[in-house]
Homo-oligomer: A and B are copies of this chain.
């Protein structure tokens, strides 16, 4: 992967329905209000607050839930990714 997110941003890849089922998350049909499951592909260095770097709470490989309306979609080498801020991640799925 050749995208290095800035600040507290992460790059994630949306998990398809099949993978979603494996991890035990069943998304409802009325998908509007449902969060989306994804895998973390790249992690920024963290935001700087009052001159101090705040360490990131997610790492590459984490499965996460995020609002599907957060972030910006980008296509790299034919694959679709989303760049979003860590504060838009709701939870890590373990």
Contacts and interface: CB of A to CB of B under 8 A. Distances in A.
Interface of A: 2-7, 9, 11, 23-28, 33-35, 42, 44-45, 48-52, 54, 57-58, 65, 67, 72-78, 83, 86-87, 89-94
* Copies of this chain per assembly: 7
A93 B23 CA distance: 31
The 4 closest A-B pairs by CB, nearest first: A5-B91, A4-B92, A24-B77, A51-B52
A91 B4 contact: yes
A91 to B, nearest CB: 4
Contact of A7 (B2, B57, B77): B57
Given A5-B90, A6-B89, A92-B6, A34 B65 contact: no
